[in-house]
Amino acid sequence: MEKTLKHARHLKDTLQAIKENNILKMYVDENVLNFMGKREFENAIMANETIEATVAFVDICGFTAISEHAPPDTVVNMLNAYFDVMVKEITDQDGYIDKFIGDAIMAVFKGEYHLDRAIDAALALSNRISELPAIGEMKFKPKVSIGIHGGEMISGNIGSVSLKRLDYTVIGDTVNTAARLQDFAKENQILISKTCYEQVKESFKCEK
């Protein structure tokens, strides 16, 4: 009998762990979860590295005004619907979501042709968002503005150890430049830096 109870408790604990792990996956990027599973995780938790990558900031134009007047449920449902579309195009190009910032997304692309893949993702998600019908009582028609820049950046866990709150992210001038480009971008516009243009001018049609 004791053996049966012990097995039942073990099974219950296993199911709870699976449930908690599935919930954790909704909040934590897969890259972080994979890193946490490595044996050297605890020793390397504050380690960082300089990498070559591309960052894209994608903002939903005019959504702040909608959030000030629409019911909370409407705002959240609309935003989640738009993010689903945007995230799919980003992950299809092997990019990952660094973070959601209000009604904006910060995405990072690493590996071969990271700049080309970032631009491909930006073009695809911009087209997909533009094709979406107006929804809600305010008949809001989504459009995005995008800033892209590639180069060296620092990748690592940034935050407060004492608070036990860390964010696995990228920082540096490259990231800041991408954010500023997005600030200047207009509706349905993708802005890249001059250095990025020189790298992709044979692959993409760009306007000065």
* pLDDT score of 75: 83
* Domain match, 65 and 20 both: no
- Overall number of domains in the chain: 2
Query: In whole angstroms, what is the distance from residue 87 CA to residue 78 CA?
Result: 14
Could you read off the pLDDT of 24-42 as tens digits, one per residue?
455 555 655 565 555 554 5
| Residue-wise pLDDT tens digits, 90-138 | 999 999 999 999 889 999 999 999 999 999 999 999 999 988 887 666 6
Confidence of residue 140 (pLDDT cuts 50, 70, 90): confident
Domain enclosing residue 23, as ranges: 2-36
Give yes or no: residues 11 and 103 share one domain: no
For residue 159, being part of any structural domain is answered with yes
Residue 167 reports pLDDT greater than 60: yes
Q: Are residues 11 and 90 in the same domain?
A: no
Same domain, 72 and 173: yes
Q: For residue 207, is it within any domain?
A: no
Whether 17 and 102 share a structural domain = no
> How many other CB atoms are there within 10 angstroms of residue 65's CB atom?
11
When the pLDDT of each residue in the chain is averaged and rounded to a whole number, the result is: 82
Report yes or no on 124 lying in a domain: yes
pLDDT of 160 above 90: no
Please tell me whether residues 31 and 49 are part of one structural domain: no
Of 78, 49, 83, nearest to 65 (Cα)?
78
Residue 15 CB contacts under 8 Å (≥ 6 apart), including other chains:
none
Residue 104 is assigned to a structural domain of this protein: yes
103: CATH: 3.30.70.1230
Domain assignment present for residue 205? The answer is no
**pLDDT tens, 173-183?**
999 999 999 99
Instruction: Please state, for a pLDDT cut of 90, what percent of the chain lies above it.
Output: 50
**Domain co-membership, 105 together with 149:** yes
Domain annotation covers residue 206: no
pTM of the model: 0.79
Question: Is the domain of 92 the same as that of 11?
Answer: no
Q: Residues 6, 53: one domain?
A: no
Task: Show Cβ contacts of residue 119 under 8 Å, excluding neighbours closer than 6 positions.
Answer: 148, 190, 192, 200, 204
Is residue 208 situated within a structural domain? no
Is there a single domain that holds both residue 106 and residue 179? yes
In this structure, the answer to whether residues 63 and 18 fall within a common structural domain is no
Q: Are residues 175 and 80 in the same domain?
A: yes
